Structure 1
């Protein structure tokens, strides 16, 4: 079980080190019944982490390792990547302004790639191989969605 106290301490250290002003909430379970470990809310500039989903994902990806705290920090860093992405608002506007499904999937992918790029800078102490595995698995769905749309459009 992840100790909230340790997680909160580490998150506060990251917030302080990078001078980030983001409200962070920790909940037991995602109310949307989705397997997401965290969510950035642009409306109130907050991040919510969902512990049950984080634990489930961590056990699935790293079954033989006790890396729950590190995994949670990577999820937090990814959400903080969204929160600090200087291009996020413009990308959301582009997404909202297009009806082309391929372009929408590409924009979603770009939003996620940007967040992962920023996240890496926030958790440099996390081993690169560990970080990259989480990132790769997280992005698979987005790459597949773009690829499928390209095939449907006769591009690939």
Structure 2
């Protein structure tokens, strides 16, 4: 995964990348950006679990890893993140959290044009499904 480190340094030389085996606690978290340390941490085992749950196998694990990394990079490069995070802390509004996530996805897509767009869109849609207010959301077909 040395190429991840090069990728991050090209995007932002001040950004740190850490690799850990699993996210501490019971949640399954593939990656996390910390604004206080300006660092992205990827959690290998959790990424594998997410990939298998979402895509049914690990056949596209490498692409899935790139998508998780790019999404966290999106948070790191989001110029609105500090203001939005402050607003989220003050209001606890789900719409602010949704804006934070949508910003990260929009930035992420710009950084990984080499990843299959259908796969990226599927993972993005699944990630944002939480914000859907519609009880009629239909499960989308996996692009595996």
Q: TM-score range by the shorter chain?
A: 0.7 to 0.9
**1:96, distance to aligned residue in structure 2 (A):** 2.2
Residue 124 of structure 2 is aligned to residue 130 of structure 1: no
1:49-71 CA-to-partner distances (Å, cap 9, x unmatched) read 11111001111222256111110
SS at match of 2:132: helix
**TM-score, length-scaled by structure 2:** 0.85
**1:18, distance to aligned residue in structure 2 (A):** 2.8
**1:19, distance to aligned residue in structure 2 (A):** 4.0
Partners of 2:72 and 2:57 lie apart in 1 by: 26
Partner of residue 86, structure 2: 93
- After TM superposition, the runs of 4+ consecutive aligned structure 1 residues lying more than 4 A away are none
Q: How does 1:15-26 map to 2 (within 5 A)?
A: 15-26=8-19
Partner of residue 34, structure 1: 27
Structure 1 residues not aligned, in runs of 5+: 1-6, 149-156
Partners of 2:13 and 2:124 lie apart in 1 by: 22
**TM-score, length-scaled by structure 1:** 0.79
Higher share in helix: 1
Partners of 1:34 and 1:64 lie apart in 2 by: 20
CA RMSD of aligned residues (A): 1.8
